[in-house]
Amino acid sequence: MKDLSLMTWKEIKEVDKAKSIVLAVMAPIEEHGWHLPLATDLLEGNFWSKGAMEIIEKESDIQCYYLPTFPIAAASVNEFYGSIHFTMSTTCDVAFGLMESLYCMGFTNIILIASHADPQHQIAVEKAVRKINKKHGLCAFAPMGQIFMGVGLKKPLELEVFEKEHSNDFHAGWVETSSLLAMDNNYVREVYSGMPDSEITDRDMISRKKQLAAMGKYGFLGAPRYASHEFGVQLNENCIASIADAVIKFYKRDGYQKYEHYFLYKILPLHIGFFSTFGRVRRKKGVK
């Protein structure tokens, strides 16, 4: 795998595009509680992408390229201290511009890794993917929305059972804390094991006010105290294998469809953020 940005334009011109894929990560710099860094989603996107590229190059003749990460994303809750968000329209424009630039270089297997599960982000990215595929023919693919919805490869039974028992873990809870513990435990502040659970149902997740109330003074939604290195290894491995599966299938243009369209895209009220009156980013000056 090679970092496209460290190559010269002449070297890129010589790449066999038909045998190549390019991965780009788009995720926010965003608060993740008292215990995880702002770059959590970017770290996840990079770690999963690199892991997937390793598998892809081992299991196929595909040559993998990647770009530096794009810390640009949309989110439904903006006003928490520390977050840097953009509108759905900006996110969609950046995703489109990024992918069309790669298309103009000759790449026709462009994979956008949107490693931030918020529906606003997933919909903004998918809108850009639909637009570019309509304009230039099928050349781009963003499988993370569907992987977050659980369509990827089967998880180990123990993890699946635990997930069912401790669901509603949406943001910086045991899932993300485990994931980062398994990447590098220096990313995680020890305070995670002693914080109270923050409870919210998936139904209440559609209300920004209820999300903010549940986040309280901490900024997470879920139960970080259950996090473990072992769960993190399993979660990361499953995500990496699912991305590799999706990308290889897309490259072959065979069997990738289950990853293709984000399930919640068809829910029209979730597109409201594309209108400037509703979609502004609510930035608020924090207290010191």
Query: Shortest gap between Cβ of 235 and Zn ion (angstroms)?
Result: 12
Measured CA to CA, the distance from residue 234 to residue 179 in angstroms comes to 9
Query: Shortest gap between Cβ of 32 and Zn ion (angstroms)?
Result: 6
Query: Shortest gap between Cβ of 41 and Zn ion (angstroms)?
Result: 4
By beta carbon distance, the residue nearest Zn ion is 41
Task: Pick the piece of the chain touching Zn ion (CB under 5 A) from 33-41, 146-154, 182-190, 223-231.
Answer: 33-41
In DSSP terms, which residues pair with 111 in a beta bridge?
Answer: 23, 141
Look-up: residue for tokens 């998936």? 202
* Of 41 and 260, CB closest to Zn ion: 41
In DSSP terms, which residues pair with 66 in a beta bridge?
Answer: 3, 23
SS3 91: helix
Strands 2-3 and 140-141: unpaired
Query: Shortest gap between Cβ of 33 and Zn ion (angstroms)?
Result: 10
Task: Pick the piece of the chain touching Zn ion (CB under 5 A) from 38-46, 65-73, 91-99, 241-249.
Answer: 38-46
Query: Shortest gap between Cβ of 220 and Zn ion (angstroms)?
Result: 9
Measured CA to CA, the distance from residue 83 to residue 120 in angstroms comes to 15
* Of 41 and 245, CB closest to Zn ion: 41
31 near Zn ion, judged by CB under 5 A: no
Indicate which single residue of 4, 24, 37, 41 sits in contact with Zn ion (rule: CB under 5 A). Answer: 41
Q: Would you say 72 and 94 are in contact if contact means Cβ atoms under 8 Å apart?
A: yes
Per-position b or e across 135-146, b if 16+ CB within 10 A of its CB: eeeebbbbbbbb
Measure the CA dihedral 48/242/248/26, to 10°. -40
* Of 115 and 146, CB closest to Zn ion: 115
* Of 65 and 170, CB closest to Zn ion: 170
Q: Which amino acid appears at position 12 of this protein? A: I
Task: Pick the piece of the chain touching Zn ion (CB under 5 A) from 32-40, 71-79, 158-166, 264-272.
Answer: 32-40
* Of 86 and 250, CB closest to Zn ion: 86
Site for Zn ion, rule CB under 5 A: 40-41
